[in-house]
Amino acid sequence: MHYEDQQVEVHRLVVGPMDNNVFVLRCRATGRAVLVDAANEADRLLAMCRSLGVGLVLQTHGHHDHIGAVPALRHAGYEVGIGADDAPMLASADFTIEDDAVFHVGRTRLRALATPGHTPGSMCFLVEGSPVLFAGDTLFPGGPGKTSGAGGDFPTIIRSIEERLFSCLGRDTVVMPGHGEDTTVGAEQPHLEEWVERGW
């Protein structure tokens, strides 16, 4: 158990050579669940899916370290979705995710927020009614995800963070990134201009 409140549980596994965070969001009222980022170590993820009632897999983006277990989970019958602009990074996906799409996880609503910059199709997922954001590699403690790779763009990720996250989410929102430890919007927001000035 990584986080819990009256509405949801969040479970976390750290997998693979790049220590990727894999999260399962579970509705406490119904037991329905969704997995965020099928990164690696498919056997461990499948065991967690079965024990926690996962019905769907959502990808924050298409970088190789975040999608390694996708084929195995799809083979096991789980549908996988990814942002449309990152779909070419996957050999196959079952559906594409649009900005502001809402996924019903039991009685819990999970909203997709398009946050391009790390990749063109990067998505964050906001738990409505709970202060939880699955941020993928868009926002970490200390700044944005890297934009030096193919498809990355620093001004775009800064705009995504400012307009889709800092301007819309409460300071107590817990940011759960794709690697490493959690942070909050309130802890990171005062440093936005520092990130702009340093350029990464």
What amino acid occupies position 92?
A: S
For 143-198, the pLDDT digits (tens) are 999 999 989 999 999 999 999 999 999 999 999 999 999 999 999 999 999 999 99
What pLDDT, on a 0 to 100 scale, did the predictor assign at position 59?
A: 98
For 22-36, the pLDDT digits (tens) are 999 999 999 999 999
For 70-82, the pLDDT digits (tens) are 999 999 999 999 9
- Quickly tell me which residue has 């409505």 as its tokens: 128
The structure tokens listed for 121 are 């199709």
Q: Is pLDDT of 136 > 90? A: yes
For 83-134, the pLDDT digits (tens) are 999 999 999 999 999 999 999 999 999 999 999 999 999 999 999 999 999 9
Q: What are the residue boundaries of the structural domains of the chain, listed by start?
A: 3-198
Burial class, 37, CB count within 10 angstroms (exposed 0-12 / middle 13-18 / buried 19+): buried
What pLDDT, on a 0 to 100 scale, did the predictor assign at position 2?
A: 98
Helix spans in 123-191 (H): 154-160, 185-188
- Report the b/e string of 92-120 with b at 16+ CB within 10 A: ebeeebeeebebebbebbbebbbbbbbbb
What pLDDT, on a 0 to 100 scale, did the predictor assign at position 150?
A: 87
The pTM assigned to this predicted structure is 0.98
Query: Distance of alpha carbon 79 from its chain centroid, rounded?
Result: 16
- Quickly tell me which residue has 């949801």 as its tokens: 8
CATH topology of domain 3-198: Metallo-beta-lactamase; Chain A (3.60.15)
Alpha-carbon distances of 160 from 86, 110, 130, 144, rounded to whole Å: 16, 18, 21, 10
Element (DSSP H or E) covering residue 74: helix 70-75
